[in-house]
């Protein structure tokens, strides 16, 4: 700790504006910075810098892309932004830092559904020489956990997502403290229990939604900005939006997007599922709705996400039942009751925007709309990149796949990647001795997802 402070004091810090890293570079622990910043800090590529936002984290320096030269911009991926507790557009202080070899690093899964345990060897390889700070959220790259896969994970072969997907981990503790890196002598432990990740951003962030550049920009302006900087709006005397309607076909990523905005805004996230809440007993649905709004108010800043809002708020001019009428009335009351300063945004999703009650579209309610469309080729390419991020691929041409999957939405592309991975797993199954505790390294080396696997999955 003291050492870190000294280092920061000795070295000049520069102020840089955060921008998002390129999708394909996410999860690598690097920070791209312009030449001028490298010179000012006295660092060269490969050196370690401390990045201070609301929290401090570390990264290895890489030179900016040519198009960024001349801009005072630092490119960080979603995990790094979470670790520094900043969003794109915020400023961070960057200073040269010393990273010390770690004697010991303890990791824990950052996703609740992950149950991992086993030798830290794989993680050691994965994070070798990467600067780490206790409390950081990090992600594995595919190749690693496919080797040294612990047996209980291996047994989940019918859930290939576990074996072939990127795994997010929390750095629970390090010895010594401060910025450290793993070297040959570091003892690495992987804890079994889930450890809450920083600000819940372990879940999803903007890097995990593909083909939505414009949509993310719009949503950041309407939702993230007011949630993070409510004072801006108060100062200008304008009311930030309370309700945003996302509309688009199923499986295009509306839910994932809402969750990402919540995480990146460091807001609490509450979900209401339209059809589910409709199914509740008399009076129960309204009570549930009120409770969610109350909880959101307590935990604000918050985002309340209402999925399939058309099922609870169908046009009243049609023939809605009593239950719908009461629920719409309740929802309107709750929305109208939201104080301008309560710092809650309600995001609702529907694939039938024309089917919802007009009263909900009035000013002060869901008065903003964002269309989430079916992705085009470049969008599909991005989404495929996201869903194959953790997979060892052989001969797979994602550009080709993007070209040949016209009409596929994000959910279809995710399913396609899972299917292809499943085929790869099936292929090595005969070589496995299911009684054995571990999987031979050479078998795991052979576990790769091929172009054939994708083509076969496409045929199904
Ligand atoms: P919607 O809410 O529009 O029905 P979801 O957000 O529930 O869609 O998407 C379902 C799944 O499909 C996601 O969990 C994700 O795996 C995948 N998916 C959908 N759209 C995208 C996208 N744009 N980028 C990455 N994955 C996506």
> Which of 203, 306, 411 is the best mutation target for the ligand 1 pocket, counting ligand atoms within 8 Å of the beta carbon and taking the most?
411
- Asked if residue 441 lies in contact with residue 119, where contact means CB atoms within 8 angstroms, the answer is no
pTM over 0.95: no
H or E segment and range at residue 264: helix 254-264
Task: Please tell me which residue, 160 or 171, carries the higher pLDDT value.
Answer: 171
Counting ligand 1 atoms within 8 A of each CB, the residue from 351, 410, 413 with the most, and so the one to mutate, is 410
The answer to whether the beta carbons of residues 185 and 179 sit under 8 Å apart is no
Query: Among residues 160, 154, 190, which one has the least CA distance to residue 172?
Result: 190
Instruction: Please list, in sequence order, all residues whose beta carbon lies within 8 angstroms of the beta carbon of residue 223, skipping any fewer than 6 positions away.
Output: 241, 244, 261, 265, 303, 345, 347
Least confident stretch, 29-33, 105-109, 289-293, 314-318: 314-318
pLDDT confidence band for 159 (50 / 70 / 90) = very low
Q: What's the DSSP call for residue 220?
A: I
User: How far is residue 162's CA from residue 225's CA, in Å, rounded to a whole number?
Assistant: 35
What's the pLDDT at 436? 58
Q: Which residues line ligand 1 (CB under 6 A)?
A: 209-212, 250-256, 349, 383, 386, 410-411, 414
Index of the ligand 1 atom closest to the CA of residue 259: 6
Ligand 1 closest atom vs CA 307: 2
Greater model confidence, 433 or 388: 388
Given a contact cutoff of 8 angstroms between Cβ atoms, the answer to whether 111 and 145 are in contact is no
161/435: higher pLDDT: 435
Predicted local confidence at residue 161, as pLDDT = 32
CA distance 50 to 10: 13
The answer to whether residue 374 scores a pLDDT higher than 70 is yes
Q: How far apart are CA 53 and CA 47, in angstroms?
A: 19
Q: How far is the C-alpha of 207 from the C-alpha of 186, rounded, in Å?
A: 30
Closest CA to 210 of 348, 373, 83: 373
First and final C-alpha spacing in the chain? 56
Please name which of 417, 366, 420, 67 lies closest in space to residue 210, comparing C-alpha atoms.
417
ipTM surpasses cut 0.90: yes
Mean pLDDT value across residues 264-275: 89
Instruction: State yes or no: pLDDT of 50 exceeds 80.
Output: yes
pLDDT, one tens digit per residue, over 308-323 is 998 887 775 556 677 7
Instruction: Tell me the CA–centroid distance for residue 409 and ligand 1, in Å.
Output: 8
pLDDT in tens, 165-186: 667 888 999 999 999 999 989 9
The CA 411 to ligand 1 mean position distance, Å, reads 5
Residue 294: CB partners within 8 Å, gap ≥ 6? none
pLDDT of residue 154 exceeding 60, the answer is: no
* CB-CB contact of 104 with 176 (8 Å): no
**Residue scoring higher pLDDT (301 or 196):** 301
Atom 5 in ligand 1: residue holding the nearest Cα: 253
**By the 8 A CB rule, do 347 and 244 touch?**
yes
Q: What is the pLDDT of residue 232?
A: 84
Give 220's contacts (C-beta < 8 A, 6+ positions apart): 87, 88, 261, 264
Ligand 1 geometric centre to CA of 195 (Å)? 25
- Which H/E stretch holds residue 109? strand 104-109
- Give residue 89's Cα distance to chain centre: 18
176 prior amide bond cis, ω within 30: yes
Nearest CA to ligand 1 atom 6: 253
Residues sharing a CB contact under 8 Å with residue 159, sequence separation 6 or more, in sequence order: none
Provide the token pair at 30. 């690097």
Burial category of 433 from C-beta neighbours within 10 Å (exposed 0-12, middle 13-18, buried 19 and up):
exposed
CA angle 378/60/111 to nearest 5° reads: 65
Q: Check the CA dihedral 273-275-276-281 and report its sign.
A: positive
Tokens of 135: 């409390």
Nearest to 349 by CA among 309, 312, 311, 292: 309
pLDDT at 112 over 70: no
Nearest ligand 1 atom, CA 208: 25
Protein residue whose Cα sits closest to atom 11 of ligand 1: 411
Q: How far is the CA of 251 from the centre of ligand 1 (A)?
A: 5
- Please name the residue whose Cα sits nearest to atom 26 of ligand 1: 410
Distance 223 CA to ligand 1 centre (A): 19
Q: What is the pLDDT of residues 212-254, one digit of tens each?
A: 989 999 999 999 988 888 888 878 888 788 999 999 999 999 9
Mean predicted confidence (pLDDT) in 326-349: 87
pLDDT of residue 209: 94
Whole-Å CA distances, 429 to 424, 432, 443, 447: 9, 5, 9, 10
DSSP string, 110-133: SSTT----EETHHHHHHTBT-EE-
Q: Which of 256, 260, 371, 374 to mutate to test the pocket of ligand 1 (most atoms within 8 A of CB)?
A: 256
Q: In angstroms, what is the span from residue 178 Cα to ligand 1's centroid?
A: 37
């Amino acid at each position: 700790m003291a050492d870190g402070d000294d280092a920061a004091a000795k070295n000049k810090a520069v102020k840089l504006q955060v921008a998002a890293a390129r999708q394909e570079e996410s999860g690598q622990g690097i920070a791209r910075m312009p030449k001028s910043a490298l010179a000012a800090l006295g660092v060269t590529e490969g050196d370690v810098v401390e990045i201070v936002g609301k929290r401090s984290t570390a990264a290895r320096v890489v030179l900016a892309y040519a198009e960024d030269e001349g801009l005072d911009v630092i490119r960080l991926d979603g995990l790094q932004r979470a670790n520094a507790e900043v969003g794109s557009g915020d400023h961070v202080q960057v200073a040269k830092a010393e990273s010390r070899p770690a004697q010991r690093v303890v990791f824990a899964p950052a996703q609740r559904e992950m149950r991992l345990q086993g030798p830290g060897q794989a993680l050691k390889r994965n994070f070798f020489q990467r600067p780490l700070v206790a409390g950081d959220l990090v992600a594995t790259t595919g190749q690693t956990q496919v080797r040294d896969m612990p047996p209980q994970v291996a047994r989940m072969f019918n859930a290939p997502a576990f074996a072939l997907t990127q795994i997010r981990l929390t750095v629970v503790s390090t010895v010594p403290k401060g910025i450290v890196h793993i070297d040959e002598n570091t003892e690495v432990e992987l804890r079994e229990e889930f450890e809450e990740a920083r600000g819940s951003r372990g879940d999803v962030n903007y890097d995990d939604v593909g083909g939505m550049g414009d949509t993310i920009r719009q949503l950041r302006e309407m939702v993230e900005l007011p949630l993070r900087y409510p004072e801006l709006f108060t100062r200008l005397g304008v009311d930030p939006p309370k309700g945003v309607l996302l509309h688009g076909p199923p499986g295009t990523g509306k839910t994932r997007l809402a969750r990402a905005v919540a995480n990146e805004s460091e807001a609490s996230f509450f979900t209401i599922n339209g059809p589910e809440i409709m199914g509740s007993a008399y009076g129960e649905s309204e009570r549930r709705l009120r409770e969610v709004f109350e909880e959101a108010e307590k935990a604000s800043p918050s985002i309340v996400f209402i999925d399939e809002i058309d099922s609870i708020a169908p046009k009243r001019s049609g023939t809605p039942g009593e239950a719908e009428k009461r629920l719409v009335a309740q929802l309107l009351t709750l929305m109208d009751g939201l104080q301008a300063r309560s710092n809650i945004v309600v995001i609702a999703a529907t694939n039938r925007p024309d089917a919802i009650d007009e009263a909900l579209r009035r000013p002060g309610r869901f008065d903003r709309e964002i269309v989430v469309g079916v992705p085009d080729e470049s969008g599909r390419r991005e989404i495929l990149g996201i869903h194959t991020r953790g997979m060892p691929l052989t001969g797979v041409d994602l550009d080709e796949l993007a070209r040949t999957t016209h009409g596929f939405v994000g959910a279809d592309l995710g399913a396609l990647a899972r299917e292809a991975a499943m085929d790869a797993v099936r292929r090595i199954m005969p070589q496995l001795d299911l009684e054995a505790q571990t999987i031979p390294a050479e078998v795991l080396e052979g576990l790769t997802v091929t172009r054939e696997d994708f083509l076969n999955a496409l045929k199904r």
